[in-house]
């Protein structure tokens, strides 16, 4: 039995750092183990211009407590983007790609895209620049069940995007269903990120009787056992189209426990790589962890694989219930079972 594993240093291809005091508190937890992170641009004022991206990157890196840490910023795509600035920022690698939030799909997505066909001109530019389109793949419509949003997005939007822009690199973010896994596996130029929580929770952990567990509520919502199994298989064994993206999304506890303002998001960065290692070990696939955490992502994004390594030891990792600093109080993601791996 292995008691220690050494992997190329990971990257997290999907994290939320927020702003202000929250950013100052949470960034170090991701920088603790990752060399690079994609910082999601759904800040209160979304990141839509090159100058905002430059400033946001600086802000994150200077709060990371690490000299090597790099934040990569995608552009928050909107109906009214400044196309010249966007193209310039892609060419200068100021933007690592473009993030598509369908309007009102999740936190701060009210500025998102209402009619995706209307931004096909943006996809055309991205395809030409060999850039990456990151997608929150959910269709939020009154007639669509919350558990079917990913499937509807794939059927009604993603097939068409895929077929229209065959060379556009697409990441289906936080894949949450077996349907999503199948789509990624059966199409070209598309990859998927998988969160730890979608491999650990099912809807029973969120919705019980009339109650909701706000700390396990996220978008896309966690689904059924069959989806969890498909995601574990995708991460651990179908091992080149999927990579690490925690979707660590901190919210102040007030935004979680006061039901009228229940915000979706799970804060997992204090134990992210440890959770993934625990899952891979359960699947007897520890040997494939590095591929998922440190190789598939950079290969897909066309970036260098990290040179440093990270060691995880087989010992149980204790997690505090909350991350608390100053005015910030965030519930840390926790699970019933032990986390078996620890970065020293």
The residues assigned a catalytic role are 247
Contact with ligand DOR (CB under 6 A): which of 27, 30, 34, 106? 106
Strand partners, 71: 37
12 binds Zn ion (CB under 5 A): no
- Measured from the CB of residue 197, what is the shortest distance to ligand DOR in angstroms? 9
Burial string for 40-63 (b: 16+ CB within 10 Å, else e) reads: bbbbeebbbbbebbeebbebbbeb
- Judge whether 277 and 341 are in contact, CB under 8 Å: yes
Going from the C-alpha of 30 to that of each of 52, 69, 243, 271, the distances in angstroms are: 21, 9, 16, 9
Count Cβ atoms within 10 A of the Cβ of residue 162 and give its class: 0-12 exposed, 13-18 middle, 19 or more buried.
Answer: middle
Which range in 5-13, 86-94, 257-265, 335-343 contacts ligand DOR by CB under 6 A?
257-265
- Measured from the CB of residue 302, what is the shortest distance to ligand DOR in angstroms? 24
Going from the C-alpha of 290 to that of each of 129, 151, 175, the distances in angstroms are: 29, 29, 19
Residue closer to ligand DOR by CB (options 16, 331) is 16
Strands 97-100 vs 322-325: parallel, antiparallel or unpaired = unpaired
- Measured from the CB of residue 198, what is the shortest distance to ligand DOR in angstroms? 10
Q: Which H or E element spans position 15?
A: strand 11-15
Residue closer to ligand DOR by CB (options 244, 285) is 244
Q: Residue 49 has which token pair? A: 């211009």
98 binds ligand DOR (CB under 6 A): no
Contact with ligand DOR (CB under 6 A): which of 16, 32, 99, 151? 16
Residue closer to Zn ion by CB (options 40, 277) is 40
Q: Is 97 helix (H, G, I), strand (E, B) or coil?
A: strand
Q: Give, as ranges, the residues between 217 and 236 that touch ligand DOR (CB under 6 A).
A: 218-219
Which range in 88-96, 258-266, 294-302, 319-327 contacts ligand DOR by CB under 6 A?
258-266
Interface mask toward ligand DOR for 261-300; x: CB under 6 A = --xxx-----------------------------------
DSSP string covering 100-126? E-BTTSSTT-TTSBS-GGGGHHHHHHH
* Beta-carbon contacts of residue 221 (< 8 Å; ≥ 6 apart): 146, 147, 176, 203, 206, 264
Interface mask toward Zn ion for 208-247; x: CB under 5 A = ---------------------------------------x
- Measured from the CB of residue 287, what is the shortest distance to Zn ion in angstroms? 29
Q: Give, as ranges, the residues between 35 and 94 that touch ligand DOR (CB under 6 A).
A: 42
290 binds Zn ion (CB under 5 A): no
- Judge whether 34 and 64 are in contact, CB under 8 Å: no
- Which residues contact ligand DOR (rule: CB under 6 A)? 16, 42, 106-107, 136, 218-219, 247, 249, 263-265
- Which residues contact Zn ion (rule: CB under 5 A)? 247
């Amino acid at each position: 039995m292995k008691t220690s594993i050494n992997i190329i240093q990971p990257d997290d291809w999907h994290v939320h750092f927020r702003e202000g005091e929250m950013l100052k508190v949470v960034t170090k937890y991701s920088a603790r183990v990752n060399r690079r992170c994609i910082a999601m641009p759904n800040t209160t004022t979304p990141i839509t211009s090159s100058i905002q991206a430059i400033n946001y990157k600086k802000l994150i890196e200077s709060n990371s407590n690490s000299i090597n840490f790099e934040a990569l910023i995608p552009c928050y795509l909107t109906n009214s983007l400044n196309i010249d600035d966007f193209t310039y920022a892609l060419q200068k690698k100021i933007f690592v790609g473009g993030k598509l939030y369908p309007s009102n799909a999740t936190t701060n997505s009210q500025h998102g895209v209402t009619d995706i066909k209307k931004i096909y001109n943006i996809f055309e530019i991205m395809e030409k620049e060999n850039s990456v389109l990151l997608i929150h793949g959910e269709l939020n419509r009154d007639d669509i069940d919350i558990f079917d949003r990913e499937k509807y997005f794939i059927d009604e939007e993603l097939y068409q995007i895929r077929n229209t822009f065959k060379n556009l690199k697409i990441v289906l973010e936080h894949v949450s269903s077996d349907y999503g896994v199948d789509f990624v596996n059966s199409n070209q130029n598309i990859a998927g990120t998988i969160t730890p929580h979608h491999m650990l929770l099912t809807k029973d952990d969120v919705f019980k009787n009339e109650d909701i567990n706000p700390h396990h509520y996220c978008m896309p919502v966690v689904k059924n056992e069959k989806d969890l199994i498909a995601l574990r298989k995708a991460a651990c064994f179908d091992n080149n189209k999927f990579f690490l993206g925690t979707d660590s999304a901190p919210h102040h506890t007030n935004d979680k426990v006061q039901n009228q303002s229940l915000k979706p998001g799970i804060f997992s960065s204090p134990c992210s790589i440890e959770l993934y290692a625990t899952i891979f070990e359960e699947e007897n696939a520890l040997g494939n962890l590095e591929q998922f955490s440190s190789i598939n992502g950079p290969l897909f994004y066309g970036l260098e694989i990290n040179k440093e390594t990270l060691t995880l030891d087989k010992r149980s990792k204790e997690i505090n219930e909350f991350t608390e600093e100053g005015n910030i109080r965030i519930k840390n993601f926790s699970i019933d079972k032990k986390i078996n791996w620890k970065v020293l």
